[in-house]
Amino acid sequence: MLKILRTTRYLSDFGWDPLILTVKNPEPYHRADNPIPESARVYRSWRIPGGNFLARILRRLNLDERWLLLPDQYIFWIPGSLIYGWYLIIRQKVDLIYVTGPPYSALLCGALLKVLTGRPLVVDLRDPWSFNAARNGYPTKFHQWLDQRLEKWVLKTADFITCIYRITQEGYGRLYPWTRVKTAIFYDTIDRGDLPEIVDSYAKFTITYLGTFYPPFHTLKATLRAIRYLLDQGQITSDSFCFNYVGPFDKKFNSLIAELNLAQIVRQAGYQPLKEAQVEIFKSHALLLLLEFATINTKLFDYLAAGKPILAVVPEFQELEELLQTYASGFSMVSDGDYLKIAAIIVQYHQEHYQGELQVDPGKREHFIARMNIERETQELTAIFNQIIAEKKGLNV
C-alpha cells in the first residue's frame, strides 16, 4: 500500500487527479502510517464486518481461511466498495480505474467496476495471486481451480497490469502468455522526499534488519547462528557489535535470541513509522536482507537508498542479484545458508569499520536515487494511463 500512497502524491503533477476509494475502519494490516496526500479526494465505503474474525476462527481450527473466504478474508469489502465505487465513477466522471492488490478481493472489485461502468482498468499486482509462495497449498483442488478462475478473469478484464518485480511478470507470462503484451514492472521504490537528512551513525558497529521475519526462518537461524559463533570465537563482543531489529514484536525471533543467548548484542527498536525506520537504516553501518524464497520487497529499496553495505542471505535468483550489482553501494550474498560464510562477512564488515576501511561506492547510491524513485515511476505510469485513454477514445470515434 505504501507504493500507492507515494504514487498519489505525484499523480496531479502529471495531469491526473486521484480519487481514492477505500473502506471504513480497514483491518490493521492495511493501515499506513504515511498520511494520504491532502490534495487527494478520499471516499470510504461501508463493509460487511466479520472477515477477519472468521479467518481467526478457521486458523484456530487449523483450517485454511480459504475454505470459506476466497480469494481472501477481505471478500466482505466487495459489496460496499462496488456500490460506492459505481456511484463515484458515474458521479465524478472518472476516466480510469487503478486498483492494487493484495488484498485480491480489491482486484475483483476493480474488475467488476470495469464491467459495470466500461471504464478502463489497470491492475497493480504487489504480489502474485495463485502462485504466491505464501499462499501455497489450497484446501481442495476445487478451491485452487476457483481461485485461478477468478485470477484469470480479473487479468483478462484488465487493460494493463503492473507488477512490482520481474519474477511476478515472468510468472504470469508463463501461466497466461497473453499477459505479456500488457504488463510492465514498477518497483516498490523510494520517494526522495521521505529520505532523512544526514544523520550520525551509531557509536558501535550496528547491522540492522528492517521488517518482519518469514517462515521457515532458515535465513534468520543461519544468521543468528553466525553471530553466536563470532561471539564464542571472541571476534565480536557486546561492546563492539549490535544487531538492530526494527520491526514488530516477533515470538520466533525472541525465542531464537533466548535459545542462543544473544540478548546482550540485540537491540529491538520495535515497529517504527517509515521515516523513523529509515533513520535507523541510515544510522547503521551495514544492513541485513533475509529472504526465504525468491521475492523482492520494499526494504531492499530503502536499503539501497541508504548507501550502506548489504549482507543478503537469500535464495539465488537473477533479478535480485542484478539490482544489487547495479545499485548497491556494497553487498555480499550468501545463497546456501552456510553460517560460516555469513560469519566471515559479518566479521569482515566489523573489522573494516573499526579500521576505517568499510568501503562503499557513493556513485551507486546517487544512480539509484536518480533512476529508481517514485516520481519518475509515476510519470511513466501516467504515460500508460494516457495511452489507454487515447486508445479507448480512438475506438469510440
| Averaged confidence pLDDT in the chain | 90
Categorize the per-residue pLDDT at 63 as very low, low, confident or very high, splitting at 50, 70 and 90: confident
What is the end-to-end Cα distance of the chain in Å, rounded? 37
Same domain, 169 and 199: no
Lowest model confidence (mean pLDDT) among 14-18, 38-42, 109-113, 129-133: 38-42
Same domain, 155 and 241: no
- DSSP H or E stretch at residue 208: strand 205-210
Q: What percent of the chain has pLDDT over 90?
A: 69
**How many domains does the chain divide into?**
2
Same domain, 58 and 103: yes
pLDDT in tens, 223-261: 999 999 999 999 999 999 999 999 999 999 999 999 999
Distance between CA atoms of residues 72 and 95, nearest Å: 28
Domain of 357: which CATH number?
Answer: 3.40.50.2000
User: How much is the pLDDT for 397?
Assistant: 40
pLDDT in tens, 84-107: 999 999 999 999 999 999 999 999
Same domain, 123 and 203: no
- DSSP H or E stretch at residue 289: strand 286-290
Same domain, 248 and 359: yes
Q: Is the pLDDT of residue 51 over 80?
A: no
Same domain, 102 and 75: yes
Domain that holds residue 80: 2-189+373-396
Q: Is the pLDDT of residue 15 over 90?
A: yes
Compute the 3-state secondary structure of the chain and give helix, strand, coil in percent, each to the nearest 5. 50, 15, 35
Rounded average pLDDT over 354-360: 90
SS3 call for 359 = coil
User: How much is the pLDDT for 31?
Assistant: 42
User: How much is the pLDDT for 132?
Assistant: 80
pLDDT in tens, 25-35: 655 444 445 55
DSSP line for 20-88: EEEESS--GGG--SSPPPTTSEEEEE---S-HHHHHHHHHHTT--GGGTSSS-GGGGGHHHHHHHHHHH
Same domain, 99 and 164: yes
Q: What percent of the chain has pLDDT over 70?
A: 95
Q: Is the pLDDT of residue 213 over 70?
A: yes
